[in-house]
Amino acid sequence: MIEQTASVSIRLNPFKGLDGPGGRSVPWSPYGRILDSRPAFTSDPLFHAGCYYVQDSSAMFPGHLFRRELRRLGCPAGIRVLDLCAAPGGKTTDLAASLREACGDDFTLVSNEVIKSRASVLAQNVALWGDPAVRVISADPSVIGSSLPGFFDIIVADVPCSGEGMFRKDPRAVEEWSPELVDLCAARQKRILSDVWPSLREGGVLIYSTCTYEDAENDGNLRWAADTLGGTLLEPEAGFGAYGVKVTDCGNLFRAGEVPGEGQWAGALVKTSAAEAPRRCDLSAIKPLWAGAPAPERKGKDLVPHADSALSIFFNKSDYPCAELDLPTALHFLHRDTIVLPDAPLGYNVVTYKGHPLGFVKNLGKRCNNLHPAGRRILKDV
């Protein structure tokens, strides 16, 4: 099966108008779309506007389990959720959309990535998605477990694994795989779960997933967590067999070539062991890398808007003059080129494409200062 071409899918942002490439629906994701071919996402301004996220359809299944458990818990007031191994941001953006649809503003979503370089990518993708309720942090699971006892109602742990499910997408995964790697990953996954376990409240839910087919990393480890850490396994989903999704002892298995997407395994349990009562304001103990767009910054006589504010789902376009760009000009803006807007007023303008904000420029008349962040610029020639 690894000789086949890898699948391509996206998930639309329901709070940015559901604009993006069309495709077949993903059975377990209301906003997932399976594409017939891979478009040039980098050349689509809607991608840079956060209108959709490129995510494998199988990787959307933990989001389905999350929505199932959110309904079962009744979306309690002030629900607190942790995406533990969150980079590059696919599951975080899925959880954010699901929480906002179910709970409105009454939720906290903490998105964590321990590796600093990957945490930076995570923060960028969360900023593009535009939900200010998401808090991005970079902390070891042991720090979270010790700092936030009993704090979370749901933890989603898409843990590092041996990666068999990614063989079609990543040739390095094929080269690096070995039985020793499986053993190493299984042991590391146990450590991650043990370290973060104190932060899950009694009665809270762990959603556990990998992109491998190995029992030791999948059913074996979730069963270990239930038996050793204290939990009751939840029933796997039985309704997706027509799409190639298999039921295993503790979860659901997706094999590349048998399902619309790539390889994935996911299962869930309810914590039954006692947890320490959460302490007030515990979350403040971990400094965020991103917690919504910063306020405009005073520079001399100017009040300079932050680029992330234009991408927020709550951005009010009436706060700034809007300049609608055609495709070539939008790409030049995203390339951080100097653009000219002869019909726009002087000063700060938000630039849009198909009505979706991309960022800010300062119109000087004969040219505009481009405020698109250098770290997000399109690198290829436009």
Is there a contact between 236 and 267 (Cβ–Cβ < 8 Å)? yes
Q: Is the pLDDT assigned to residue 279 strictly greater than 70?
A: no
Q: Give the DSSP H/E element, type plus range, for residue 252.
A: strand 251-254
CA–CA separation, 131 and 108 (whole Å): 11
Q: Does a cis peptide bond (omega within 30 degrees of 0) precede residue 305?
A: no
Q: List, by residue range, all CATH 3.10.450.720 domains of the chain.
A: 297-376
What was the pLDDT predicted at 140? 97
Where do the DSSP E strands lie in 113-220? 134-137, 152-158, 200-210
Instruction: Please state which architecture CATH assigns to domain 55-285.
Output: 3-Layer(aba) Sandwich (3.40)
Question: pLDDT per residue over 224-255, tens digit each?
Answer: 999 999 999 999 999 999 999 999 999 999 99
Per CATH, domain 297-376 is 3.40.1440.10: no
What was the pLDDT predicted at 190? 98
Question: pLDDT per residue over 49-96, tens digit each?
Answer: 999 999 999 999 999 999 999 999 999 999 999 999 999 999 999 999
Question: pLDDT per residue over 305-341, tens digit each?
Answer: 999 999 999 999 999 999 999 999 999 999 999 999 9
CA–CA separation, 126 and 132 (whole Å): 9
The length of the chain in residues reads 382
Catalytic annotation present for 185: no
Q: List, by residue range, all CATH 3.40.50.150 domains of the chain.
A: 55-285
Q: Average pLDDT, whole number, for the chain? A: 94
Q: Is the pLDDT assigned to residue 1 strictly greater than 90?
A: no
Q: Which candidate in 51, 103, 211, 368 is catalytic?
A: 211
